[in-house]
Structure 1
Amino acid sequence: MEVINASVLVNVSNTDLGQCDMYCRVILIILYSVVLLGGTTGMVLMSCMMSKRSSQSVIATFVLNIIALHSILLVSLPFRVSYYFSATWSLGSFACRLVSSIIYSHMYFTFVFYVAIVILRLLIYFKKLQVQQLKKHYAVALSIIIWTVGGLIFLTVFFLQYGTDPSHSKQQRCFEFYRDLKRKEIIVINYSMIVTMMITVVILFLLQLVVIFQLIKALWPDMWAHQEFRAQIKSFFFVLVIVVCFIPHHVFRVHFIQNYSERENSKLVLYNEICVALTTVCCLDMLCFVGGVVH
């Protein structure tokens, strides 16, 4: 830490309250490095495990999508670590916007596939859908639709809305697109995503708890021996990942939007960057499955 403090992290003036300071950057370097190491390990082990099983299920197809999303994010993390280590971005504004968009697109794409898995298992539990009706090509078609629609949305939002201010390209800094929150359309987009995620998570969380308690009551004390119970526990794990990794960012985002200002924002910037970084921790989900953390 002393080497970073003495030689590299001093590049940015502490008087610039709009930028993530030294303390902020040290936290982010550690957090992103842990995610990069743990996430890569989890991706490799889970990919090997799934290749051996050659599963044709719909759930497996969605999990493969999540693995692909995690892999894309993990490729972008070294750029973030390098930037926070040197405090200088030299790859241009387009590359900055691309790397920045990856972390947000990863969060929302992963959220969609998590929700798809949870809803699918809930429909099966409530007898609204039969396992025999589920075909892999349905999951592939749905995945293509999600990637296409989501890609168009993020292309529009991140490349036509965020980071378009000329001041972004004149500085050797990156990931400071929160400055665009002064624009009304950006505020509307943010609030829309916050409300959508909050409502979805609350509904799924409550439904999942009801299902798990019903199964415990019906199967006690041998519930772990039943595949249906284990499947619902895995679904609940995905909901918990959303709550732990994604919700803090969205809750704080409301406070950030309401209180951010150009003059006094150093603490808010710190907390906002940490909440954004926290969303990447979901990449450790596959490591939890492989390591047996999730039964």
Structure 2
Amino acid sequence: MSAHNDSSCRPMLTPHLTTLYFMVLTGGLAGVISILFLLVKMNTRSVTTMAVVNLVVVHSVFLLTVPFRLIYLIQQRWTFGLPFCKFVSAMLHIHMYLTFLFYVVILIIRYLMFFKHKDKVEFYRKLHAVAASAGLWLLVIVIVVPLIVSQYGNLKMYNKEQCFNFHKELAETYVQIINYLIVIAVIAVTVILLVFQIFIITSMVRKLRHSLLSHQEFWAQLKNLFFIGVIMICFLPYQLFRIYYLNTVVHSDACNNHVAFYNEIFLSVTAISCFDLLLFVLGGSHWFKQKIIDLWNCLLCR
């Protein structure tokens, strides 16, 4: 690859990535610390609580890799070796899909609670909750992570001083098929969740009307809408652009067209999901609820 092509592929051509990852690191750490104070008071047998705990773990592990991205963006040179570069690069993808998975779990549980008219869904014992989480992480650590890291960026030759440039792997047919299937699955699941959420909120508005804001269930559904909002803002744009990106990689040099760079931008936006815990804490505050109530009352007065 020529020097021109190398430079056009580098994600460090813009300072916006540095600012974004710095904000992700700061906001993510603030969210993790804030949610820990709430988790102490929450029911540890609750399936939703355990999903949130696992979400905290996912964000925490990913945030440990963000400083290395910042060092690379500032120094404009990767000095930690190509294997670790592959790991840090893969962690952004692992973080995105695990976060999406836990969102889906939380939303499905909340939907079941709504349709079955239950206040909560719990494990029989705390040990069962711990075992379920341990089993999931054992699956991720023993199978998923080694598989991704061992296969990620191994089909082509790459410069060890330049990181996050593994787009050439996508030229392989089976890699493209896997990516297309993942994109279709994420988009389909997101649409299904959104349809369910719109149906639930619409039915609640028709049933409760003016007393809507006095019901705890409505506030729970607003939190559901928050998770879907994060998916649509942080994850969906990347998945949609991925379709164009995969097609472009096959038919042309992605670097010459700066498509690889734009893909890096969309991918970095997925890291903003680390703000979810902080927003979740703030959204549950009395001040936030009061502002929503004031806004609703204002709309009804018109």
Q: Same fold judged by TM-score > 0.5?
A: yes
**2:96 maps to 1:126:** no
TM-score (norm 2): 0.85
Q: What residue ranges of structure 1 are gaps of 5+ in the alignment?
A: 1-11
SS at match of 2:10: coil
Distance 1:154 1:233 in 2: 33
Q: Once the two structures are superposed, what CA deviation does each residue of 1:198-244 show, in whole Å capped at 9, x if it has no partner? A: 11111011001100111122122222221211111111211111111
2:150 is matched with which residue: 150, 156, 160? 160
Q: Do structure 1's residue 27 and structure 2's residue 16 form an aligned pair?
A: yes
Runs of 5+ in structure 2 lacking a partner?
290-302
2:238 is the counterpart of 1:249:
yes
Structure 1 distance, partners of 2:108, 2:189, is 11
Q: CA separation in 1, counterparts of 2:245 and 2:271? A: 19
Amino acid at match of 1:120: I
Deviation at 1:153, TM superposition (A): 2.7
- What is aligned with 1:62? 51
Question: Take 1:207 and 1:22, find their aligned partners in 2: how far apart are those partners?
Answer: 40
Q: Is the 8 A contact 1:17 1:265 kept in 2?
A: no
Compared CA separation, residues 183 and 285, structure 1 to 2 (3 A): same
Kindly indicate whether residue 265 of structure 2 is the aligned counterpart of residue 274 of structure 1: yes
2:277 equivalent to 1:286: yes
Q: Which runs of 4+ in 1 moved over 6 A?
A: none
Residue matched to 1:192: 181
Which letter does structure 2 place at the counterpart of 1:75? L
Letter of the 1:195 counterpart: I
1:159 Cα offset (Å): 2.4
Kept after mapping to 1: 8 A contact 2:8/2:258: no
For 1:240, the equivalent position in structure 2 comes to: 229
Q: Compared with structure 1, are the counterparts of its residues 129 and 191 closer, same or farther at alpha carbon in structure 2 (3 Å cutoff)?
A: farther
CA offset at residue 18 of structure 1?
4.7
Residues paired across the two proteins, number: 280
Match of 1:5 in 2: none
Cα shift at 1:81: 0.9
What percent of counterpart residues are identical? 32
* Distance across 2 between alignment mates of 1:101 and 1:148: 18
What SS is found at the alignment partner of 2:163?
coil
* Residue 149 (structure 1) aligned to one of 132, 139, 149: 139
The amino acid that maps onto 2:136 is I
Paired letter, 2:17:
L
Change (3 A) 1:213 1:177: same
1:114 to 2:94 alignment = no
Q: For the aligned residues, what is the CA RMSD?
A: 2.3
Work out whether residues 69 and 110 of structure 1, in 8 Å CA contact, stay in contact via their aligned partners in 2.
Answer: yes
Quick one: structure 1 residues 265 and 144, their matched pair in 2 at CA, closer, same or farther if it must change by over 3 Å?
A: farther
SS in 2 for 1:72: helix
Distance (whole Å) between structure 2 residues aligned to residue 131 and residue 40 of structure 1: 29
Structure 1, residues 153-174: CA drift from partner, whole Å, max 9, x if none?
A: 3421x22322114522x43111
Q: TM-score, normalised by structure 1?
A: 0.87
Q: Which moved more, 1:132-141 or 1:29-38?
A: 132-141
1:36-69 Cα shifts (integer Å, max 9, x gaps): 1111111111112222x14222211111111111
Partner residue of 1:82?
A: 71
> For residue 123 of structure 1, what is the amino acid of its counterpart?
L
The equivalent residue for 2:296 is none
Q: For residues 257-268 of structure 1, what are the structure 2 equivalents within 5 Å? A: 257-260=246-249, 261-262=252-253, 264-268=255-259
Letter in 2 for 1:31: L
Cα distance in 2, alignment partners of residues 236 and 247 from structure 1: 15
